[in-house]
Amino acid sequence: MYWLCALSALAYIRFSDASEAWRGWSRECLQDLRGFTKTVLLGIVSVGAEWWAFEIIALAAGSMGQSSASAQSIIMSTDSLLSLFPFGAGIATTNRVASLLGAGNVKQADIAARAASVIAASTGLVVMAGLLLFGRQIALLFTDDPNIVSLAVAVFPCVAAFQISDGLQAANAGVLRAVGKVSIAAVVNMLAYYCIATPIGIFLAFKLGYGLYGLWAGLALALTLAGLAELVMVFSMNWSQFGQDCDLESLSPEQINF
């Protein structure tokens, strides 16, 4: 699958107008490798922090017994599918905002960033409503065990609760990547997931006895705080400053503020 995606992308670049942007290999490709590597590592932390936290929660759920582990599998599979919407929106936002900034359209970049938040929140609202309305039917697609279905349905409201904030977080993290503020998204995610989500979720689950619901309540709180924090950052950005810092093609590596 991954090879097919890679080969398809290469074929598109080769046989479309996008090939005009490729000037071939040169020594310029090796310039600013340190800055590029730093951006890559921060991107890994930004995205990986969320994934790793969900895996930690999955491991914790596995220690609660067979029913909780089975319900966790249903919830995680459902959330993984739903997360494709904000994940795709984040990628599209990064490309759109970065392209507009590179072209010198600072005002349009600002509008695109704000529009991304509106679209992400609207999509999250629809997904949230669908999960609340059809949660039992979704769980029944995986199993007919009433105990497992009931447990999954009981946790689905937590998953539904962070659909809007998850969309906002993904869209605004995309904006932060587009303007070179990758470190902000990385720090926000690390704080949200490892200072809030994981400890609070485990405390609620094991100390207060909320079980699987407590684990996902911690994740819901973290995503809500991360989404709101990045929304405030993006909406308070000095876009005119970004317009001064970028040329007609792209942000230069020396001007990216980490």
pLDDT at residue 122 in the model: 93
Whether 8 is covered by a domain: the verdict is: no
Average pLDDT, the chain: 85
Asked if residue 88 belongs to a domain, the reply is yes
Residue 101 domain flag: yes
How many other C-beta atoms can be found within 10 angstroms of the C-beta atom of residue 203?
13
Mean pLDDT of 52-62: 88
Per-residue pLDDT for 201 more than 70?
Answer: yes
Alpha-helical (H) ranges within the chain are 2-15, 33-62, 66-82, 84-102, 106-140, 146-161, 163-178, 182-191, 198-202, 211-235, 239-245
Task: Give SS3 for 246.
Answer: strand
Domains held by the chain: number: 1
61 domain residue, yes or no: yes
Domain containing residue 175: 42-240
% pLDDT > 90, the chain: 39
Query: Which has more confidence, 131 or 28?
Result: 131
Within-domain flag for 203: yes
Q: How far is the C-alpha of 124 from the C-alpha of 122, rounded, in Å?
A: 5
Residue 122 lies in a domain: yes
In a domain, 197, yes or no: yes
132 within a domain of the structure (yes/no): yes
